[in-house]
Structure 1
Amino acid sequence: MGRQSLLPRRDFLALGTAAAASMLLPDRAFASIPTGVKLHGLSAFGDLKYPADFPHFDYVNVDAPKGGIFNFGPSQWVFNQNPYTFNTLNSFVPRGDAPPRMEMCFDSLMTSAQDEPDSIYGLLAESVTISADRNMFEFALRPQARWHDGSPLTAEDAAYTFTLFKDQGHPDLSLPLREMTQAVAADTGTLRLTFSGKQSERTILDVATFPILSKAYFAIAPFDSSRMKAPLGSGPYKVGLVRPGQTIEFERVVDYWGRDLPVNKGQFHFDKLRIEFYGDRQAAFEAFKKGEVHFREEATSRVWATGYDFPALTAGKVVKREFPSEKRPLMYATAMNQRRERFRDMRVRRAIALCFDFEWTNKSLFYGLYNRSQSYFERSEFKATGVPSPDELTLLEPLRDKLAPEVFGEAYVLPPSDGSGRDRKLLRESQKLMADAGWKRSGQFFQNAAGETFRLEILADDEGLVRIYGPWAENLKAIGFDASIRLVESAQHQARQASFDFDMIAMAVLFSPTPTREGMDGIFHSRSANLQGSRNLSGTADPAIDMLVEAIDRVKNRQELTTVLRSLDRVLRARMDWIPSWYSANHRVAFWDMFGFNETKPDYGFAMEALWWFDKDKAAKIGKA
């Protein structure tokens, strides 16, 4: 499915008095969480599932054995991480390519439960206390917390980290901290984070899950992408073997200070996590077939449909199966870079979208395994359908003069093609849209009034994407675009994405099950449009979208959140800043039959490296003991 990023978990601007009033429905909300008392967890809506004395999360196996190695290809990653190569071990800066799972070397103040959509529980922090004005959060750190060198992890480390992230961190870290005014250590065991009052009520649900760094380490080491020495960590794993750009191993910390905490029990069973980096998917698949890689999530439909007939699978040594996807909104789409003027006209963006023939692609290239994306929040209740509800209209009506008319009708959908690969009706409609936008066909290509040719380059870092984009580019050229595909190696792709040096580029985002303003800010809000390294690849900077994103701050329950996000989805779909692509309802995975796992996976996570374990008996049966 192309690149996939896992974003972090987490003032209703004046839309009129009636609009604000309609959103304040009675219900339990974050604002009802008591102040001035020590809390073991926080939740966006409703009560916590787990009480203060819970022994462990329900979805873990506390009796699973320790040992073995898990050599896998990550299918999700965060911050500046890259699954194809790496040139830094600092995962928290805007630039560079870090290996996935560096975050497993660091602890956070609190951590998520994978069977709840919006709750976090104490990890480094044994409790959190909210001030009366709800702008200050006091975390009591566990005195036994230690760095891997045995030195104490203190509130000074945490205060240093949040200040560092705000000033120099990756946008996924810096944006949620923009309203933080102070991070101080009241003493070695007490951290106080203070906000301006303009922050979202739920900002803390993001911020409290950020990794904590060592002040002593980074006081003498630059906080940049030059780091090929592993920073000092505190988490369940530490960096072992490193072959830059090729291999990284994470070794389980046997005397990990937090191994017996309720939030950690029954997790982190493998002695080693190993990631091999391959230049292309076919090479990775060949390594899996040989048993050099143990787990693979298949992202290529052709391979899933035709490639799994190798000897190890037919002999029963490899298991091929599907697991249900998480109950989390997914956006897989292609961004059109509006920092380049020729992409700023909505008619142009729609014209480009009409040239992609999903029906032909799904039949001819995907073996019918995918569904067409229409929404920016696929697979979730946040996807807009039909006409706007009365509550949605309350949000949208004050913005009517700023929005496309389609927002107020049926939710905009890309029309299906005839499946021929070159639907003449849709291509004619695309040409008309271009003419309406002032681009006339002159010889082979569209030109504007200034005589400029419409050049369009789709940036890709995988041969599989070139295969998919090829027919799209041919359709674009057929009607008058000077269209091409540029295949670059992964590090260059990441660098060009971070600096917005592209015309069109694809990205997948798996949102939190309870999306927050901070998550939306980095992709859709104008404040991230020119922040290099942000996920706002399209350069979206629209006051109406800003207002809807900021409306997330004031929702009081999930019903209100759904209303805001459906309204946002309607506006984004009508604008077509991103062209929705495709999605799957399940994880398609294959693995060597040497692991144990609980058959029922949690609804909001699929962390095999943390929850699965090595099964010696199974391994012996297939010669992998």
Structure 2
Amino acid sequence: MIGATLLAAAAPAMLVAAAPAMLVAAAPAMAQERGAHAIALHGAPKYGPDFQHFDYANPNAPKGGEVKLSAFGGFDNLNPFILRGQTAAGSGLVFQTLTTGSGDEVTTEYGLLAETIQIAPDRSAVSFTLRPQARFSDGTPVTADDVLWSFQTLREKGHPLYRTYYADVVKAEKTGERTVTFTFRNTDNPELPIIMGALSVLPKHAFENRDFAATTLEPMVGSGPYVVAEVQPGRSITYQRVADWWAKDLPVNRGRYNFDRLRYDYYRDLDVAFEAFKAGAYDFRLEHSSKNWTTGYNTPAVKDGEIVREEIKHQDPQGMQAFVFNIRRPIFQDRRVREALNYLFDYEWTRANLFYGLYQRTKSFFANSELAATGLPSPAELALLEPYRGKIPDELFSKPFEPPKTDGSGNIRPNLRAALGIFKEAGWDLKNNKLTNLETGAPFRFEILIAQADLERVIQPFLRNLERAGIEASIRVVDTAQYQNRMDNFDFDMTTERLAQSLSPGNEQRDYWESSRADQPGSRNTIGIKNPVVDALVEKIIAAPDREAQIAATRALDRVLLWNWYVIPHWHDSVHRVAYWNRFSHPPIAAKYGLGFSDTWWVDPAKNARLTSSARRAAAP
């Protein structure tokens, strides 16, 4: 699945179907002729044509209030659809797509800009008919010509990922006053109707005298619930809710987008940002630091209930966070070298001493989902994997994948011995306490590139273990703009990265893993994988005829990726840890997928009044 953060919101900063009858809402055949209100990749949509609002949204939530949030680094661009520049936080709030997903279903899309969706009986095409009331923020109607222009422009001038997503679309045409039809290259890629529904529609007239591919700090015209109200380049950006937004009463939007103003202030130091939150400089914080969560909130504001800490369970797939190898580098091209390096990361010690016992080890590229490979391959997986026996690691067939473990004491001698043994098999050996290439005499040396200095506390113990193996490794901390530029051009040895995933992987897997993307600047194949077996399994995922086949193909791919040791897995969790000043409320039913703070929370007038009164008393002489 593409995901809102990619096509509807921003280029990287983070779907497969069965028969045609399963792609449209469960309804009589006539509904397909008229067009459907929603499409589901598997089964039928949860919400019928007459639904009033999503279960996790409060239609009576009050509108109002200004909310301050934080962002890290800086920004120099308000166009989230191109490769260049650092896109501002929250930029996706300005734009709308043809369809939108729900937060409690797997890959179901409901009409947003599109009033109806009609899929050809043989799945060779999909048509979207626009809502007559759809408007851009400058008051002009959203037209079929805007849809066509957006598709063509994103494919030709947008981020390179769009060319991957739209590669199988052979024709886009206006087939009615408000209708656009996309025709596909073949009928065995059932995700394509949903991919096209995720198309962000931009105003053709607003770009007639502008270079779309150039970065800009001029606010862009969109059709979303917010417009850019104020820009302080690199420092802050403020969004204003559109009071007469054309889509505010649509069932998919009732109870959503409740804040009048959203302001993102940028911080270049995460410790400074944390202290700023406790001082009241911003309102809401998604806490990623176990140290902060465990020890950092011992403040009067927390004790007095002015700051609320909450753990919210979720079912979001966690993907893979890891130390990522750039296997374009010669030293990382041998699978055995990558395996040996896995033995030198002491996760058990790290969890006990740095994470205060929080988190769990990641053992899958699709962690926290049913897509994750566990145990030994199932019969369905074996049917996919057996043809490649001899071309993939033999262990895949006989062992469940497990990253190397330690006893957590900090004594890694058993792992060190194992690592050095594997290094020797790969042509590296200790000489004068330096791991040396037996053929060239070159030392084993690499750099870990990061943009967040707080990661150093996790990386430094890893470096000490690498040093014990005779490896010269260092940390390079750069600003976010330089980091993004270097990642886009694969200018790194190793980095830390989260490879995010959806619950329904599909065409986007090409951008992550396929050989054709390994040398494409800006692709998400940051590892540099060129593996024909991986390519073939990705295509199996895309063409899977049903959910069971999709799961089997994804698990098979997972096993091949894991046993090739392309990464050193980190950790993940199944709760959102949030802290916020006690002026908000949220619906009693949380979405299964996603936190939805700026989406479904609201400023509670009574709580806000109490908090304001308390602050005034504290400030009084």
TM-score range for the pair, normalised by the shorter chain length: over 0.9
Q: Match for residue 520 of structure 1?
A: 509
* 2:526 match: secondary structure: coil
CA shift for structure 1 position 135: 2.0
Deviation by residue 1:491-542 (Cα, 9 ceiling, x = unmatched): 11111111111011111133222222x2211212222211211211101111
The equivalent position to 1:264 in structure 2, one of 233, 245, 253, is: 253
CA shift for structure 1 position 565: 1.3
Cα 1:239–1:342 shift into 2, 3 Å = same
Give the conservation status (yes or no) of the 8 Å contact 2:171–2:184: yes
CA shift for structure 1 position 554: 2.7
Give the conservation status (yes or no) of the 8 Å contact 1:28–1:45: no
Deviation by residue 1:41-94 (Cα, 9 ceiling, x = unmatched): 1110001111112222121111111100122246xxxxxxxx421111111112
Give the conservation status (yes or no) of the 8 Å contact 1:236–1:256: yes
* 1:402 match: secondary structure: coil
Normalised TM-score (structure 1): 0.92
The answer to whether residue 304 in structure 2 is matched with residue 315 in structure 1 is yes
The answer to whether residue 229 in structure 2 is matched with residue 240 in structure 1 is yes
The answer to whether residue 487 in structure 2 is matched with residue 497 in structure 1 is yes
The equivalent position to 1:562 in structure 2, one of 551, 555, 569, is: 551
The answer to whether residue 81 in structure 2 is matched with residue 72 in structure 1 is no
Deviation by residue 1:419-441 (Cα, 9 ceiling, x = unmatched): 13340111111111111111233
CA shift for structure 1 position 280: 1.8
* 1:468 match: secondary structure: helix
Q: Match for residue 60 of structure 1?
A: 57
Q: Match for residue 151 of structure 1?
A: 140
* 1:332 match: secondary structure: strand
The answer to whether residue 475 in structure 2 is matched with residue 475 in structure 1 is no
**What are the within-5 Å matches in structure 2 for residues 371-410 of structure 1?**
371-410=360-399
Deviation by residue 1:187-245 (Cα, 9 ceiling, x = unmatched): 54111212211662112213312321111122211123421111111110011111111
Name the CA distance, whole Å, in 1 between partners of 2:604 and 2:266: 25
The answer to whether residue 574 in structure 2 is matched with residue 585 in structure 1 is yes
Cα 1:25–1:531 shift into 2, 3 Å = closer
The equivalent position to 1:292 in structure 2, one of 276, 281, 285, is: 281
Give the conservation status (yes or no) of the 8 Å contact 1:462–1:487: yes
Name the CA distance, whole Å, in 1 between partners of 2:7 and 2:371: 18
Name the CA distance, whole Å, in 2 between partners of 1:183 and 1:310: 58
* 2:473 match: secondary structure: strand
Name the CA distance, whole Å, in 1 between partners of 2:310 and 2:534: 40
Name the CA distance, whole Å, in 2 between partners of 1:253 and 1:401: 59
RMSD: 2.2
Cα 1:583–1:7 shift into 2, 3 Å = farther
Deviation by residue 1:165-200 (Cα, 9 ceiling, x = unmatched): 222222443321111122223354111212211662
CA shift for structure 1 position 398: 0.6
**What are the within-5 Å matches in structure 2 for residues 55-454 of structure 1?**
55-73=52-70, 83-197=72-186, 200-448=189-437, 449-454=439-444
CA shift for structure 1 position 402: 1.2
Cα 1:199–1:422 shift into 2, 3 Å = farther
Q: Match for residue 12 of structure 2?
A: none
User: Alignment identity in percent?
Assistant: 38
Cα 1:373–1:402 shift into 2, 3 Å = same
Name the CA distance, whole Å, in 2 between partners of 1:340 and 1:540: 12
* 1:473 match: secondary structure: helix
Q: Match for residue 619 of structure 2?
A: none
Cα 1:365–1:194 shift into 2, 3 Å = same
Q: Match for residue 451 of structure 2?
A: 461
Q: Match for residue 79 of structure 1?
A: none
Paired residue total: 600
CA shift for structure 1 position 620: 1.2
Name the CA distance, whole Å, in 1 between partners of 2:67 and 2:262: 5
Cα 1:431–1:56 shift into 2, 3 Å = same
Give the conservation status (yes or no) of the 8 Å contact 1:27–1:556: no
The worse-fitting range, judged by mean Cα deviation, of 598-607 and 613-622 is 598-607
Deviation by residue 1:96-151 (Cα, 9 ceiling, x = unmatched): 11012211101110000111111000011101112243222111111111111111
* 2:342 match: secondary structure: helix
Name the CA distance, whole Å, in 2 between partners of 1:366 and 1:207: 41
Name the CA distance, whole Å, in 1 between partners of 2:556 and 2:606: 53
The equivalent position to 1:510 in structure 2, one of 489, 492, 500, is: 500
Name the CA distance, whole Å, in 1 between partners of 2:548 and 2:565: 26
Name the CA distance, whole Å, in 1 between partners of 2:355 and 2:580: 22
Deviation by residue 1:248-301 (Cα, 9 ceiling, x = unmatched): 111101111111111111111100111111002111111111111100011111
Unaligned runs of 5+ in 2: 9-15, 616-621
Give the conservation status (yes or no) of the 8 Å contact 2:172–2:181: yes
Normalised TM-score (structure 2): 0.93
Give the conservation status (yes or no) of the 8 Å contact 1:6–1:509: no
Name the CA distance, whole Å, in 1 between partners of 2:577 and 2:123: 43
CA shift for structure 1 position 451: 2.5
CA shift for structure 1 position 329: 4.2
Deviation by residue 1:409-428 (Cα, 9 ceiling, x = unmatched): 12221121121334011111
The worse-fitting range, judged by mean Cα deviation, of 30-39 and 467-476 is 30-39
Give the conservation status (yes or no) of the 8 Å contact 1:320–1:589: yes
* 1:514 match: secondary structure: coil
Give the conservation status (yes or no) of the 8 Å contact 1:523–1:537: yes
Give the conservation status (yes or no) of the 8 Å contact 1:37–1:130: no
Partner AA of 1:474 in structure 2:
R
The worse-fitting range, judged by mean Cα deviation, of 221-230 and 541-550 is 221-230
Give the conservation status (yes or no) of the 8 Å contact 1:259–1:265: yes
| Moved segments of 4+, more than 6 Å | 23-28, 31-34
Name the CA distance, whole Å, in 1 between partners of 2:267 and 2:63: 28
Name the CA distance, whole Å, in 2 between partners of 1:358 and 1:5: 32
Q: Match for residue 618 of structure 2?
A: none
The answer to whether residue 600 in structure 2 is matched with residue 611 in structure 1 is yes
Cα 1:298–1:60 shift into 2, 3 Å = same
Cα 1:189–1:28 shift into 2, 3 Å = closer
Q: Match for residue 17 of structure 1?
A: none
Deviation by residue 1:443-474 (Cα, 9 ceiling, x = unmatched): 34323212322221111111211111011112
The answer to whether residue 48 in structure 2 is matched with residue 48 in structure 1 is no
CA shift for structure 1 position 6: 5.0
